[in-house]
Structure 1
Amino acid sequence: MWASYAKAGLTANPDEPDLNRFASDGALKTLRNGLANYRSKKQVLKGKYVLNPQAAEVALNASPATVTVTDCIDDSNFLVYNLSGEPINDVPGGRRSARATVTNLAAGGWKVTSFGVQDVGSC
């Protein structure tokens, strides 16, 4: 999901098709709204996330089946730029605690349906 968001961020495209491959429901809405907001301000996102996701809770017998994933996302090299390529805020991010619910949507496959990312320094 995060790689798709980074790809979409290069043009602040809320309709990036890859977003649908990995996210659904509230997660997809949050990603699209964020990208639309950047686009309205004529801003783009560039860089890479450093990720190390871990399954924290597994509920395969639930209906639908879910897995809770935790991570400490490092967005130090992921910045906002204006369309001319100048950084809007050249202060790097940092390590942020994140938690996501990945749900088996049957024919839709496993997708992130909700997530939350905390402030820099939260992990």
Structure 2
Amino acid sequence: MAAAVTFLAGCGADGGSTPAPAPSGGAVSSPPHTGGSPSPKPTSPADIARQDAVAAYVGMWKADAQASHTSDWQATYLSRYASGDALQVLTGDLYADHLNGLVAKGEPVNHPRVTSVNPPGAPTSVRIEDCADSRNWLQYRTDGSLLDDTPGGMRRILAEARLHTDGLWRVTQFGVGDLASC
């Protein structure tokens, strides 16, 4: 889906100072808790930032998967989870798929982990690393035939989420590695 994206060497193009448009209908639900026992409620600003940034990151991929089922590059719910470069990449890829008569089925499985929270006392930026599994998120032609015989697989993703002035965390940029990069 975002395989054409190259790894981002640095972050900061968006700066997090420009909030994305206000979210509107069609929100994607958060994933259910799958652990054995409930996670403790975060109490420190850094823990809250980690939780909220990861929720935005996972939400972005769920929203992108949902939009990819019809190649809806205008899906307003994407802006709830992504802004700046990240939103441009998502909508650009969806638009290209629309023009080429492609849709996707399924969704990726994400395994995000936070690599940094800055500044620790009052976080506004969180970096995330993921080893995402795209084996169940494949592209098809609109006639229902599989685009190619590439089975998908594990891809390393580096992302940055930023706290916006509306109080929401959004992914501002990400880079997707080649197949089998993690």
**Same fold by TM-score, threshold 0.5 exceeded?**
yes
- In 1, the alpha carbon distance for the partners of 2:130 and 2:72 equals 25
Q: Does 1:81 align with 2:107?
A: no
Select the structure that is richer in strand: 1
Equivalence for 2:66: 7
Pairwise mapping of residues 22-37 of structure 1 onto structure 2 (< 5 A)?
22-37=81-96
User: TM (normalized to structure 1)?
Assistant: 0.94
| Contact 1:24–1:111, Cα closer than 8 Å, also in 2 | yes
Pairwise mapping of residues 1-123 of structure 1 onto structure 2 (< 5 A)?
1-60=60-119, 65-107=124-166, 109-123=168-182
Count of residue correspondences: 123
Q: Which amino acid aligns with 1:35?
A: L
Q: Secondary structure at the residue paired with 2:166?
A: helix
Deviation at 1:93, TM superposition (A): 1.1
- In 2, the alpha carbon distance for the partners of 1:85 and 1:106 equals 42
- In 1, the alpha carbon distance for the partners of 2:136 and 2:97 equals 18
- Say what the alpha-carbon RMSD is for the aligned residues: 1.6
Structure 2: state its 5+ residue gaps. 1-59
Q: Which amino acid aligns with 2:61?
A: W
Structure 1: state its 5+ residue gaps. none
CA-to-aligned-CA distance 1:35-89 (integer Å, 9 cap, x gap): 0000000110111211111111000359981000110001011111111111111
**Greater RCO (Cα-Cα under 8 Å, separation 6 or more):** 2
| Contact 1:78–1:92, Cα closer than 8 Å, also in 2 | no
List structure 1 segments (4+ residues) > 6 angstroms apart after TM superposition: none
